[in-house]
Structures are given as C-alpha cells and as structure tokens.
C-alpha cells in the first residue's frame, strides 16, 4: 500500500471538505494537528486556498516518518502535493523524503509551529478552542493528523542484527507479529534462524538500567546486559479526548 501517498491525498481531501464547511465563525478556519505526510499536505492545501490556518507539530517535520529507521525506503509511488504538483520519488529513503519536504517548506514559506503539543480541544459556540503547550487557538474546524506508526520495532531489530558483532534481542508482548508486513516478518525470522537475532514473544520489559534490561516472559525474569535500548512502543490515539468532543470512534480488526 502507498501509505504516504494515501496520507498526502487524505490531507488534501480533508482541506477540500473544510473549505465548504461554514457552520461556525471563528478567527481561524482550521487548526491542523500534526506535520506528518497528511498534516503537511493539509497545511500546503490550506495555504493554497488562502485559509486562515495554524499547524502545530509536537516534534519535527515528517511526524512519525522522522522516527523511521535510517535509510528505510518510505515511498514507492508518486503523489500529488498541493502547491507543488505530482511528486515522483520512487524508492525514496526516509532521509531523502524529509530533505525534499524541507525544501518545499522553505520554498513555499508554509508556517508550522514546531515543538507545540495539543493538550485539549473544547467545543465552543464558534467551533472549537484548541489548547496547546504554548497557547490556544479559536477555530471553526480541527484537523487531526496524528499518525499511528508501523513496523518500526521489527525493522530496527533486523537492521541492527545485520551489523557485524551485534547481539540483538527483540521483546514483544504478543504471541505473534500478526499485523506486520510479510517482508519484515520474513527478515526477522531469517535473522533469528541465523542466530543474529533473539525474539522473545509474550514478554514484557520490567525495568531498564544503564547496564541491563529486565524482561519477564511467561512468569520468569531474565536480565539482559545491553549497550543501547530502542523503544518502538507505537502510537496511541487520544480516544477519550475524541469522545469528549463528540467524535465516534469504532475499532475494527481484520477488516478493511
């Protein structure tokens, strides 16, 4: 699936919908939360249509893409960016994609408020009041582009296991990597068969110290000496906050 391409298109489509929404009056037309592929595309579309918009991002341009493993291939299909047009970056690595986006950011002058975290959203007569770690914004609409992450743990594990002399342990709370991409599962299994990677399923990290990690698996604990720890805990949707402002959240497993 072209996940980044789809996110870019969804961000553009969301702004198209917001343009036609005139139910409220407020100083801003939209507050965009997140500057990953969808949020960045939405920010460019809002600029293109001259909407009064503010984009906040708690970290850096790219959102979760910024935290992908080094040299990860992130884009295999072309996409259409507002203000830019069709982008053909087939087999683009994380670094090349981020560099490309940074160039667009400089060229267009789109403004993104970095290191600003959304704390809450409150319904008002004029739309919404978005409270952040640095202030608050009155807006007609809010576009949440917060992201969820991917197979980061598996990718980090098998890439580290490829390094000469590396000893890698992958701890996972489930009994199988059911939602992982087949290619990543295959690479992890290959590294495990070769003795370069140890996989601990049904395990939980109990503690982390500068010298070791204590992992519990099926009732027994093991102390693993380590030089470094990579935490890929995944993203969590702000479900309770969404429900508090009237957003209905439905979770589906195994369906499209």
Residue-wise pLDDT tens digits, 189-215: 999 999 999 999 999 999 999 899 999
> What are the angstrom distances between the C-alpha of 241 and each of 42, 119, 122, 248, 250?
22, 9, 9, 11, 14
Q: CA dist 31 to 24, 53, 55, 137, Å?
A: 14, 6, 6, 8
Query: Minimal CA–CA distance to 171: which of 151, 154, 196?
Result: 154
Residue 185 contacts by C-beta under 8 Å, 6 or more apart in sequence?
154, 177
Query: What local confidence, expressed as pLDDT, does residue 1 receive?
Result: 45
If you average pLDDT over residues 210-221, what whole number do you get? 92
Distance CA 253, CA 247 (A): 19
Most confident among 77-91, 116-130, 151-165, 231-245 (mean pLDDT): 116-130
Say how far apart CA 179 and CA 175 lie, in whole Å. Answer: 12
Element (H, E) at 1: none
Residue 150 has pLDDT above 80, yes or no: no
Residue 76 is predicted with a pLDDT of 59
Rounded to the nearest integer, the mean pLDDT of the chain is 87
* Element counts in the chain: helices (H) and strands (E): 6, 15
Could you give the percent of the chain with pLDDT greater than 90?
Answer: 50
Q: Which domains does the chain have, with CATH numbers?
A: 3-149+235-244 (3.50.50.60), 152-225 (3.50.50.60)
Q: Residues 51, 19: contact at Cβ < 8 Å? A: yes
**pLDDT of the residue at 175:** 86
Q: At residue 238, does pLDDT exceed 60?
A: yes
CA 236 to each of CA 146, 240, 241: distance values in angstroms, whole numbers, following the listed order: 9, 11, 12
Lowest mean pLDDT among 105-119, 168-182, 209-223: 168-182
Q: Are 90 and 76 in contact (CB under 8 A)?
A: yes
């Amino acid at each position: 699936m072209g996940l980044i391409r789809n996110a870019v298109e969804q961000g553009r489509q969301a702004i198209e919908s917001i343009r036609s929404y005139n139910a409220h009056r407020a100083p801003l037309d939209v507050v965009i939360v997140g500057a990953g592929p969808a949020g960045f595309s939405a920010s460019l579309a809002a600029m293109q249509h001259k909407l009064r918009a503010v984009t906040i991002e708690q970290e850096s341009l790219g959102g979760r893409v910024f935290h992908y493993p080094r040299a990860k291939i992130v884009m295999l299909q072309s996409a259409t960016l507002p203000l830019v047009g069709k982008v053909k970056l087939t087999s683009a690595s994380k670094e090349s994609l981020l560099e490309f986006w940074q160039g667009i950011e400089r060229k267009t002058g789109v403004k993104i408020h970095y290191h600003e975290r959304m704390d809450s959203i409150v319904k008002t007569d004029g739309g919404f009041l978005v409270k952040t770690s640095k202030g608050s914004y009155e807006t007609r609409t809010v576009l949440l582009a917060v992201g969820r992450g991917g197979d980061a743990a598996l990718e980090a594990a098998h890439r580290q296991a490829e390094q000469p002399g590396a000893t890698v342990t992958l701890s996972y709370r489930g009994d199988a990597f059911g939602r992982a991409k087949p290619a990543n599962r295959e690479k992890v299994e290959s590294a495990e068969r070769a003795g370069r990677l140890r996989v601990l399923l049904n395990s939980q990290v109990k503690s982390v110290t500068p010298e070791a990690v204590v992992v519990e698996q099926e009732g027994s604990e093991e102390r693993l000496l380590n030089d470094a720890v990579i935490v890929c805990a995944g993203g969590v949707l702000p479900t309770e906050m969404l429900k508090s402002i009237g957003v209905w959240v439905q979770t589906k497993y195994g369906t499209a």
